Structure 1
Amino acid sequence: MKKTTSGIVYVLFFIILTAVFTCCTIYFINLGRTTIIDNKSTSPDTINAVNIDGDDTGLSYRTVMLKDFSESPYYKPIKTTKGRESLSSESEKKLYDLITKSVTIISETKDENDHYRTERANIEGIHMSESEIRRSINAFVFDNPHIFWLDNLFGYAYVGEDTMVEFYSVISADECEKKYLVLNSAVNRIMASLEDGMSEFEREKFMHDFVINNCIYKGTVASLSDGWEYFSAYGSIVKGEAVCEGYAKSMQLLLNLSGIECMTIRGDSEGVGHMWNVVKIDDEWYHLDSTWDDTTNGAIYDFFNIDDEMIKTSHTISPIVDEVSLDQSKENDLRYNFFIPQCTSTQAGYYSKNAAVITTFDEETNNKVISALINAANSKEKYLPIMFGKEMQYEEYINTLFFNQPYKFYSYVNSANEQLDDEHKIDRDGLSIVKNENASLVRVVLAYTSDSEES
């Protein structure tokens, strides 16, 4: 967009950065979705029980040795248990505990239905319903982001007074152990990069930026058949490619190991299933969506520690498990959460801490923005975030800064450039902005004269 006044041309190209979340597909454990009965596969939309009364003696099982992740010498890791705590019956908790062992004992070869089986879990003295089994398994997945090999189906049967449950792995025992060691090594290298004395906010930003800078959003993936890795922390951390579930699980894993409480949240965004995180910083809960903060131009912080009001402008949160009946939870495509904290604070929001704040255009505010520009330019930052107060309408702030005389932001740039060396001077003609009216925010995309001269 071009603006001409008094013979001076002010050019401002509006670049609305498109975050790579346009087709975010959530891999919600569709437990029992594909059913094998008498070696025939039913419709993928039909929910039936897998007949597991057949002979199990022909398979050889091996225990996968899961090496513990190395702990940071500075920060005590946290183990997520909200999933198990939310289970209402002792039988559900019993199955949850049995899953912990079962998923590490995997067949070395596939069965007659082309699946790698895990050791069967037997819950004595009770017939568990399919809904109860689903809740137990989903709670286990919620608490264990490092478990990446579970397939999206299960089988169960009643044997006398007992319930027998069988799970499946997408890979063999040998392959699982090898891939887990690779994940373990990668995570340990990341943890070794943490420095002593980092605040919770600093550790969170470190992991947020690592995931975004080392992972590409896989927009072409629509289902597990396109590649199980993309829905896992393994895909995000090791392969560097993931969908929203991989982003969220890797954030949960890395932040928990960094001593920060972090869990996943299921919901929808733009009518599509989505997963993101809630994180506890300085005793307050916030929403964190690293998928939506990953853009084609690198990391942004529009969804870094935001409150309930802000997240609900673009995301819909699925209900808590307590609000879902057993009959409802039997449905394959029903999304629900095991923990939804109240997120009411904005104190640890990235922009609350780092944005230049403009309420009125007085001398004090002008000096603060100029100082923020100088600091950003000296670090060759890509963006300068500016938050607005309530004294004026959002568009009035925007017009005063960029479109109406005296074009305040350009005067800020001129003042900043007088104090910057040639390497860090800001290119006035290369500026662009990204508006976020919901957050009363604008991100100024900075350009530097030294960069344009080199090109």
Structure 2
Amino acid sequence: MDNLKFIKHNNRIKFTLTVVSVLLSAITLCSCNFSLDSILGNKPTEPVQTTTEFATESKPKREVKTSYSYDNLSSDKLKELYMKIDEYAENADTSEFVIDAPLNEMQLIEAIEAYKDDHPEVFWLKSDFEYIDNDDSTSLFLSYSVQPDNSDPDRLKKAKEKFNKMVDKIIDAAPKNATDYELELYVNDYLVENCVYDKETAETEGIAGHENDAYGALVEKKAVCEGYSRAFQLLCNRLGIDCISVSGTADGEPHGWNNVKLDGEWYEVDVTWNDTDGDTEFPVYDYFNLPSDKFSESHYTSPLYSELSLSEYENTDYYFNVFAPKCTGTKYYYYSYSCVTVYDINDSEEITNAIVQAAKDGEKYFDFVIDERLDFNTTADEIIYNGYLAEWIANANLANRYNPTLNEEARVYSSEAVNVITVFLEYY
């Protein structure tokens, strides 16, 4: 006898309902709890301004790979299913389609999640689905957060138009003649400044709308971690940067983030944890472009579907990945790439020059790193309380001919977690 089975992932809550039994197992991907003490640093906070000039028109055209999950599906039959999903999802078609192979729940989820991972722009496709086991074939019914109905046949069309208009606006406002790193930083900053983390949804584990997709993050400006990661991936891809979404846990809670590829190397990025939602006076970049060995101190990347047995899948309460590269890049970690490092507090030329430039640019904050070979607390106390920082700022004022003039008695914040001191630049 055929069994109709319902698979739902309402904010990553999974259950299987057949005509004879019910199985309940929680999969909560986006609780996203974290400590502010471990995530403090600096970024520009300029509002987005729309421009008609395309952000990357002066950059050489190049292909961006957006089919990482498709290419890594565990069988050709799942690739066939992926293409069927593509055909039906475009217009939010809920009608039945058949794959001529018996597929289990894990295989169906692998194909659907692979498609969602490769297509963050298809924001209306949900992870919920229904299927019928026909012994020698499988019938599948997709579900959607937005779909046409009798009361509004253009509902999906209007949602797409609103979404695409917002994406185009953000892309058009990106910096011109920028490097991939600068464009990636722009996307991180845009989301941090314009999207609010939806704590209520994360705590209740119930998705009511678009909190876990790119529409929620970009149009409604409210999302959980999956919404942040989908939006970050989409914008990076549109700006010519290879980027994927990744599932796992962070501080023991189910979570989602991104991997980004720069100069042939992969990096870990967690925009959700970079967003303190105004709980700090200054922006933070602690989770911007880390290698996996450093990132894994707080984050655990889930295994690949292809590495799992069905029993392992059924007994694990979180999402898995179709593709998740080892991130070995170190060059573009924010604090080492964008900030000056102090190796010797008596050698002040480099840091003074950096403060000079920050003042010329009118920056509100200035970050510098204390080299890990120095004792952070001892060195920070020397810099802050024994006059070194005041001297560096005084030298910067001299170099700028006091135009502008910085207050030498600056407020500071020190973060031992990332060996960073943040200086609040105040102007007369």
TM-score with structure 2 setting the length: 0.81
Shift of 1:236: 0.9
Q: 1:391 to 1:128 in 2, by over 3 A?
A: closer
| Deviation per residue, 1:27-60 (Å, 9 max, x gap) | 76556x264869xx9686499xxxxxxxxxxxxx
1:183 alignment partner, one of 163, 169, 180: 163
Q: 1:427 to 1:36 in 2, by over 3 A?
A: farther
- Residues 55-66 of structure 1: pairs in structure 2 closer than 5 A: none
Once residues 253 and 314 of structure 2 are traced to their aligned partners in structure 1, the CA distance between those partners, rounded to angstroms, is 21
Q: 1:373 to 1:195 in 2, by over 3 A?
A: closer
1:82 alignment partner, one of 33, 58, 68: 68
Shift of 1:402: 1.7
Q: 1:220 to 1:400 in 2, by over 3 A?
A: same
Residues 1:172 and 2:147 are matched in the alignment: yes
Structure 2 residue aligned with 1:131: 106
SS at match of 1:228: coil
Structure 2 residue aligned with 1:251: 232
1:353 alignment partner, one of 318, 337, 340: 337
Shift of 1:249: 0.6
2:129 alignment partner, one of 149, 154, 158: 154
Question: CA contact under 8 A between 2:103 and 2:138: conserved in structure 1?
Answer: yes
- Residues 30-429 of structure 1: pairs in structure 2 closer than 5 A: 30=13, 33=15, 35=17, 45=25, 73=57, 74=59, 75-76=61-62, 78-106=64-92, 118-124=94-100, 126-159=101-134, 161-173=136-148, 174-194=154-174, 196-222=176-202, 225-295=206-276, 296=278, 297=281, 299-330=283-314, 333-362=317-346, 365-403=347-385, 406-420=386-400, 424-429=404-409
Q: Which stretch has the larger CA shift, 224-233 or 128-137?
A: 224-233
Shift of 1:76: 4.2
Question: CA contact under 8 A between 1:91 and 1:128: conserved in structure 2?
Answer: no
Structure 1 residue aligned with 2:421: 443
Question: CA contact under 8 A between 1:28 and 1:335: conserved in structure 2?
Answer: no
Q: 1:331 to 1:81 in 2, by over 3 A?
A: farther
TM-score with structure 1 setting the length: 0.76
Work out the percentage of aligned pairs sharing the same amino acid.
26
Tell which structure's C-alpha radius of gyration is larger: 1
| Deviation per residue, 1:377-416 (Å, 9 max, x gap) | 222323222222244222222122123xx33112212222
Q: Which stretch has the larger CA shift, 223-232 or 128-137?
A: 223-232
Q: Which AA in structure 2 matches 1:183?
A: F
| Deviation per residue, 1:82-137 (Å, 9 max, x gap) | 21222222221111111111123436xxxxxxxxxx1322112x211122111111
SS at match of 2:327: coil
Q: Which stretch has the larger CA shift, 151-160 or 302-311?
A: 151-160
Shift of 1:435: 0.6
Shift of 1:256: 0.9
Q: Which AA in structure 1 matches 2:249?
A: D
| Deviation per residue, 1:359-380 (Å, 9 max, x gap) | 1233xx3121111112112223
Shift of 1:227: 2.8
Once residues 416 and 332 of structure 2 are traced to their aligned partners in structure 1, the CA distance between those partners, rounded to angstroms, is 18
Shift of 1:179: 0.9
Structure 2 residue aligned with 1:51: none
Q: Which AA in structure 1 matches 2:426?
A: Y
Q: 1:136 to 1:30 in 2, by over 3 A?
A: farther
Structure 2 residue aligned with 1:453: none
SS at match of 2:168: helix
Once residues 346 and 309 of structure 1 are traced to their aligned partners in structure 2, the CA distance between those partners, rounded to angstroms, is 10
Question: CA contact under 8 A between 1:34 and 1:46: conserved in structure 2?
Answer: no
SS at match of 2:348: helix
